């Protein structure tokens, strides 16, 4: 299965590595542009997802905004079967979501429908939830509103680390969701 991966922060590196490790053909990565850091803002730093992609020899695209005829034409030329989005950082337009043959999946860091949107891990901790997790859903143009294919929960324990055990404990379930999606068993 030809997968186009979309993601930016460290949280998105585990699913990218899982796809690679499970033998999926990750044909490209779309991530946020390198960001200027430091006091003088003169040093550009790549996203964690870009670093993984480059280390794996996967082509990287870094559009300012994933829109427009030229971007969409390039996306279609890649001919992905599916896109997988994990904390990419932009809401994708319908044409981008629908471009892959099988559509687009989103891995979201909460047990949807709770805590839609940005920073769900922090919100779960702030709101005193005893459990959080990861949801895999079919992506639609509305924010975190598509049908949930799989959710994998885990208790919130002390100390709480945003990229800690619950992400890694959920990877087996996420891998299974990919396989179920690939074979049409969802």
Instruction: State pLDDT tens for residues 23-52.
Output: 999 999 999 999 998 888 888 999 999 999
Output helix, strand, coil percentages for the chain, rounded to the nearest 5.
30, 25, 45
> Looking at the chain, which runs of residues are DSSP E strands?
2-7, 25-30, 35-37, 43-45, 60-61, 82-86, 104-108, 131-138, 148-155
Handedness of CA 105, 110, 116, 118 (dihedral sign): negative
Break the chain into its structural domains and give their ranges.
2-183
Least confident of 19-33, 56-70, 136-150, 153-167: 153-167
CATH number for 2-183 (one of 3.40.50.170, 1.10.1740.10, 2.40.30.10, 3.10.20.30): it is: 3.40.50.170
Nearest-angstrom CA–CA distance, 89 and 15? 16
pLDDT top residue among 100 and 186: 100
Mean confidence (pLDDT) of the chain: 85
Residue 83 tokens read as 């896109």
Whether residue 152 has pLDDT greater than 90: no
Global pTM?
0.81
C-alpha distances (whole Å) from 35 to each of 7, 20, 90 are 15, 26, 15
Least confident of 2-6, 89-93, 142-146: 142-146
pLDDT in tens, 106-150: 998 888 787 777 777 778 877 788 888 888 999 988 777 788 999
Nearest-angstrom CA–CA distance, 48 and 13? 7
- Helix, coil or strand: residue 174: helix
Tell which residue, 141, 116, 138, 120, has the closest CA to residue 129.
120
Spell out the residues 6+ positions from residue 67 whose beta carbon is closer than 8 angstroms to its own.
Answer: 93, 96
């Amino acid at each position: 299965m030809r997968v186009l991966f979309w993601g930016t922060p460290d949280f998105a590196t585990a699913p990218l590595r899982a796809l690679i490790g499970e033998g999926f053909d990750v044909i490209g990565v779309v991530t946020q542009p390198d960001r200027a850091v430091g006091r003088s803002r003169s040093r550009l730093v790549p996203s964690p997802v870009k670093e993984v992609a480059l280390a794996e020899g996967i082509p990287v695209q870094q559009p300012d905004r994933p829109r427009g005829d030229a971007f969409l034409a390039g996306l279609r030329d890649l001919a992905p079967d599916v896109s997988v989005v994990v904390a990419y950082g932009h809401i994708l337009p319908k044409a981008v979501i629908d471009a892959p043959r099988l559509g687009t999946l989103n891995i979201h860091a909460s047990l949807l429908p709770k805590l839609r949107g940005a920073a769900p891990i922090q919100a779960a901790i702030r709101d005193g939830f005893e459990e959080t997790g990861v949801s895999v859903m079919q992506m639609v143009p509305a924010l975190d509103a598509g049908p949930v294919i799989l959710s994998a929960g885990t208790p919130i324990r002390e100390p709480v680390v945003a990229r800690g055990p619950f992400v890694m404990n959920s990877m087996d379930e996420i891998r299974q969701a990919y396989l179920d999606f690939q074979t049409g068993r969802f």
